[in-house]
Amino acid sequence: MGIQRGHKARPLEWIAEKVILLVSLSAILMVFLIFLFVARESLPIIFGQMNSSVASEQAIDPEKMSEVPRERLAAYLDLTPQEMTEYDDETLKLLLEVKAEEIANAPTDKDATANTVSWKYLIGAHQWSGNDKPEYIWQPVGEIHKFNIIPLFIGSLKATLVALLFAVPLSLAAAIYVSQLASPRAKEILKPAIEMLAGIPSVVLGFFALIVMATFLQNVFGYESRLNAFVAGIALGFAIIPVVFSISEDALTSVPRSYTQAALALGSSKWQAAWKVVLPAAIPGVFAAVVLGFGRAIGETMIVLMASGNGSIVSGSFFDSVRTITATIAAELAETVFGGTHYRMLFLLGTMLFAVTFVANLVADFVIHRLKSRLEGKV
């Protein structure tokens, strides 16, 4: 007769433990579901199964309306589900007749036969009739919907670059000051104060950039368009300062105090100890902070939606209006047809964004983990 162990001894304990384990798996499940459900909508485009060319569209005979599934009808007529329920059969029939006529009269020239959601058009420049050279165009309105994603990526990167150039030096300097140089009492005030910046909702920063900062910066620098990558980038910088600050401050603080004490004992000043001993030891943490700041900036929506001007212009100037990936999704999704090409295009942008931030997080996570175990002497 041995001692009973495991689930036989205490069934309640055993069940509770299993339930707790199951619930804690929900974080994994959610990451998986997010990827699954965002990527799912964009699969037809990724695998090139969609055709958006105007000339390829087949007209639906208005007389055979009842034979066609309603989802198909909605996509065909560019109607939202709301509109579908509101219109009666008479109206739908009328719309079908108009559409059939439109298709009969559709242009069959070179532009109209282009499948604008194939990868060639998504990332390559194309010379549309009327342009004198190949161009990258995101223009999901009008006769031919152009879905080139290059202007959006350039827009996102421009705003993010400005944000990093503005926020990283400031936050890193502040992190060095707060963790190494400031008196303990000053530290107790400064740290929460900077962290409070994280409490400002991004829509408020966007509002501030749009209403106050845009005019102020335009007066100072005298550029032409009031809303541009520069304004949006500075406002984005506000949003990532707390991220970069907290993580680099954490990394600097986790460097053992004995490092500083040894340097001070050898006669260095506090600044020299911070700059030449502590910072080099914590540099992977600073790198991780920058990577996370990048991920945060490229994924931020409201600030860029409100302050970037939203013009999809490809140019080298930071003072031109830009349209970012996030702002495009936010501004356009409400007007798309459920399941249509434009709708799926925006989900494709979301999938790409998810992939970029996923990699950024993974890299930062790995670097911080390695740094911590090294400083704790485990490696």
Partner 1 sequence: MDTQSSQLQFNPPPVDPDFGNLHVKSRDPISILFTGITGVATWLIIALLVVVLGNVFYHGWEGLSWRFVSTVGGDPFDVQKAGALGLIVGTSARVILMTIFVIPVGVITAIYLTEYARNNSLLTRIIRGAVNNLAGVPSIVFGLFGLGFFISFIGGGIDSLVLSPGEKALWGRPAILWASLTLAVMTLPVVIVATEESLKAIPQGLREASLALGATKLQTIVKIVLPQALPGILTGGILSISRAAGEVAPLLFTGAAYYMSGFPQALTDQFMDLGYQVYILSTQSPNIEQTRPLLYSTVLVLLLLTFALNIVAIFVRARMRRQMRALQ
**What residues numbered 153-212 form the site for partner 1, per CB under 8 A?**
169-171, 173-174, 176-178, 181-184, 190, 192-197, 199-208, 210-212
Q: How many Cα atoms occupy the beta-carbon half-sphere of 283 within 13 Å?
A: 5
Residue 259 binds partner 1 (CB under 8 A) = no
What is the amino acid identity at position 274? Answer: A
Cα torsion angle, 211, 213, 219, 221, sign: negative
DSSP state of 143: S
**Whole-angstrom Cα distance, residue 97 to residue 61?**
8
Minimum CB distance to partner 1, residue 145 (Å): 20
Residue 271 binds partner 1 (CB under 8 A) = yes
E strands, the chain, are: 138-139, 146-147
**What residues numbered 2-61 form the site for partner 1, per CB under 8 A?**
10, 12-13, 16-17, 20-21, 23-28, 30-31, 33-34, 37-38, 40-41
Minimum CB distance to partner 1, residue 296 (Å): 7
Minimum CB distance to partner 1, residue 210 (Å): 5
* 243 neighbors 296 (Cβ within 8 angstroms): yes
Minimum CB distance to partner 1, residue 94 (Å): 19
Minimum CB distance to partner 1, residue 188 (Å): 8
Residue 301 binds partner 1 (CB under 8 A) = yes
What length is written for the chain?
379
Distance (Å) of CA 368 to CA 244, 282, 290, 361, 374? 13, 10, 12, 10, 10
Distance (Å) of CA 120 to CA 105, 114, 147, 150, 242? 27, 10, 10, 12, 40
Q: Choose one: 58-66, 104-112, 141-149, 330-338; the region binding partner 1 (CB under 8 A).
A: 330-338
**What residues numbered 305-324 form the site for partner 1, per CB under 8 A?**
305-306
**What residues numbered 120-139 form the site for partner 1, per CB under 8 A?**
none
Minimum CB distance to partner 1, residue 15 (Å): 10
Q: Choose one: 54-62, 114-122, 137-145, 291-299; the region binding partner 1 (CB under 8 A).
A: 291-299
